[in-house]
A and B are shown apart, each in its own frame.
Chain A
Amino acid sequence: MKIISAKKITETIRNLCLKANLDLRNDVLAALKLARLREKNKRARNILDAIVKNAFIAREERLAICQDTGIPCVFVELGQDVKINGDLNKAINKGIVQGYKNGFFRESIVKEPISRKESGYTPTVIHIDIVGGDKLKLTVLPKGFGCENKSQLKMFNPTAKIEEIKEFIIEAVKAAGPDACPPYVVGVGIGGTADLAMLLAKKSLLRRLQTPNSKLQTLEKELLNKINHLNIGPMGLGGNTTALAVNIEIYPTHIAGLPVAVNISCHALRSATKTL
């Protein structure tokens, strides 16, 4: 049994919020630079240069990579041999407030979704998985809403052809078009239930862009290739860089259905992880 204090969790979340929003993930930066080298469209190259420059300014000057510091989605992998001293949910939300205040980030959350009243930093969205062992893994994924607004879910028939699924994913990218800050990272969740497919799609964004899903790399590669032939390009102004990666996660599902979810990330795909 390992004891972890709520205070330690708050401090960790605080630091992860700052890291995620100020230091662009190295794998994302590497993918952007590679895309810049491969890009054939001059205007697209120009935009990719600005995106890379923005990441450096953010890192150097401690300014948020994007003003939309999103809903900082928190993923918790809680080892069943961990005992938390204090309240986990409160500790996480407190850490977010501290981190977001410290970084001078935007209060992007409204407490009342219908009346739109009271903007602030919390409450955030937390996903908890109980796993074996005595570790606590915390991940913060600030998800901007330009891209979150382009999320899609389709419940296919179990007899659907793979071509239909591919078309749905490609159409979701087309529907996002220029709005959600391309080049995108396309997160896909296949299987489970409606809610789990959406969660898998989002979780897939946490995977390093250069690491394919070992069981699905042919499909990921084929989709990426097709998407990069759509000529949407950076800011939707054309070019062969519409997506940096397609990350797919799968899960067993019911004999009567086949849920497919798409969760798109903008080029500023931000996340940070720490294991206690």
Chain B
Amino acid sequence: MKKIISFLDKKAIAGLRVGDEVFLTGIIYTARDQAHKRLAEVIRKKEKLPFALKGAIIYYCGPAKTPKGRIIGSCGPTTSSRMDEFTLCLLEKGLKGMIGKGDRSGEVAAAIKKYKAVYFLTYAGCGALMASYIRSAEVLAYQDLGPEAIYRLRVEKFPLLVAIDSKGRDIYK
């Protein structure tokens, strides 16, 4: 089923079922390996997070540089499973959506169910196409990480596919 969402509140999450095609218009945050390592460290030390995780959607992505006159460069998803070891503590802090490619560990799938979150897929290896759905982009934190910095992205009709829903149903199982 095709659905349109703008944020992930309880109602939106409950309405999403594994296999649903979703178009997201709203805010997402990029974070990949090194940013995850830092976020997990911040949480462990009980320091202040660079953005509110409650209700947030993270996109596993390290964009290319931004060509002159453009909003963003090529920006497709990276392999999600590398983020598995850091995902539990983020879900605990209120993270509601994750966007990436490939499957997740059983532990992450169980945590998605426990915390009522959603894992989405988007077109993998299609960075140029994904750039066309982005309306604004700014570096929000960890600029020193270069391509692994956290970007705040405003997206429009960003195409997603529900891969693990809040009931723990998994498209790969």
Contacting residues, chain B, for A66 (C-beta < 8 A): 74, 76, 125-127
Q: B51 interface residue, CB < 8 Å from A? A: no
Known: A67-B63, A105-B65, A119-B146. 6 other contacts (CB 8 A): A51-B125, A63-B127, A64-B128, A146-B125, A178-B101, A179-B79
Instruction: Decide: A61 near B128, CB < 8 A? Known: A67-B74, A106-B65, A237-B171.
Output: yes
Contacting residues, chain B, for A65 (C-beta < 8 A): 74, 125, 127-128
Interface contact A54-B128, CB-CB below 8 Å? yes
Q: A104 interface residue, CB < 8 Å from B? A: yes
Interface contact B67-A62, CB-CB below 8 Å? yes
Closest to A62 in B: B67
Please measure, in the bound complex, the distance between the C-alpha atom of A171 and the C-alpha atom of B65, giving whole angstroms. Answer: 36
Interface size class for chain B? 35 or more
Interface contact A106-B101, CB-CB below 8 Å? no
Contacting residues, chain A, for B34 (C-beta < 8 A): 116
Please measure, in the bound complex, the distance between the C-alpha atom of A144 and the C-alpha atom of B79, giving whole angstroms. Answer: 11
Q: Which B residues form the contact surface with A (CB < 8 A)?
A: 34, 61-68, 70, 73-76, 78-79, 81, 101-103, 121, 123-129, 131-132, 145-148, 161, 171-172
Interface contact A58-B101, CB-CB below 8 Å? no
Contacting residues, chain B, for A55 (C-beta < 8 A): 128
1/0 contact trace for A112-128 toward B, CB 8 Å?
00001001000000000
Please measure, in the bound complex, the distance between the C-alpha atom of A47 and the C-alpha atom of B161, giving whole angstroms. Answer: 11
Contacting residues, chain A, for B76 (C-beta < 8 A): 66-68
Please measure, in the bound complex, the distance between the C-alpha atom of A179 and the C-alpha atom of B65, giving whole angstroms. Answer: 24
Please measure, in the bound complex, the distance between the C-alpha atom of A249 and the C-alpha atom of B12, giving whole angstroms. Answer: 51
Q: A185 interface residue, CB < 8 Å from B? A: no
Interface size on A, residues (CB 8 A): 38
Contacting residues, chain B, for A236 (C-beta < 8 A): 102-103, 172
The A interface, classified by DSSP as helix, strand, loop or mixed, is loop
- Name B102's contact: one of A57, A58, A144, A178 (CB within 8 Å): A178
Interface contact A63-B131, CB-CB below 8 Å? yes
Q: Which of A45-101 contact B (CB under 8 A)?
A: 47, 50-51, 53-55, 57-58, 61-69
Q: Which of A51, A63, A108 has the most CB of B within 10 A?
A: A63
Q: Can you list 8 A-B pairs, Cβ within 8 angstroms, ordered by A?
A: A58-B127, A64-B128, A66-B76, A119-B147, A179-B102, A235-B101, A236-B103, A236-B172
Please measure, in the bound complex, the distance between the C-alpha atom of A119 and the C-alpha atom of B148, giving whole angstroms. Answer: 10
Instruction: Decide: A64 near B74, CB < 8 A? Known: A51-B123, A181-B125.
Output: yes
- Name B128's contact: one of A58, A68, A108, A235 (CB within 8 Å): A58
Please measure, in the bound complex, the distance between the C-alpha atom of A144 and the C-alpha atom of B127, giving whole angstroms. Answer: 12
Interface contact A179-B81, CB-CB below 8 Å? yes
Interface contact A63-B128, CB-CB below 8 Å? yes
Interface contact B78-A146, CB-CB below 8 Å? yes
Instruction: Decide: A177 near B103, CB < 8 A? Known: A119-B146, A146-B78.
Output: yes
Interface contact B146-A107, CB-CB below 8 Å? yes
Interface contact B147-A180, CB-CB below 8 Å? no
Instruction: Decide: A63 near B125, CB < 8 A? Known: A146-B78, A179-B103.
Output: no
Q: Which of B75, B125, B132, B146 has the most CB of A within 10 A?
A: B125
- Name A63's contact: one of B68, B74, B145 (CB within 8 Å): B74
Interface contact A54-B129, CB-CB below 8 Å? yes
Q: A25 interface residue, CB < 8 Å from B? A: no
Contacting residues, chain B, for A62 (C-beta < 8 A): 67
Contacting residues, chain A, for B131 (C-beta < 8 A): 57, 63
Shortest CB distance A21–B (Å)? 9
Q: A267 interface residue, CB < 8 Å from B? A: yes
Shortest CB distance A59–B (Å)? 9
Interface contact A57-B132, CB-CB below 8 Å? yes
Please measure, in the bound complex, the distance between the C-alpha atom of A51 and the C-alpha atom of B64, giving whole angstroms. Answer: 18
Q: A13 interface residue, CB < 8 Å from B? A: no
Interface contact B64-A104, CB-CB below 8 Å? yes
Shortest CB distance B100–A (Å)? 10
Please measure, in the bound complex, the distance between the C-alpha atom of A180 and the C-alpha atom of B77, giving whole angstroms. Answer: 11
Query: Shortest 5 CB-CB distances between A and B: which pairs?
Result: A179-B102, A54-B126, A64-B74, A58-B128, A181-B125
Contacting residues, chain A, for B148 (C-beta < 8 A): 119
Shortest CB distance B126–A (Å)? 4
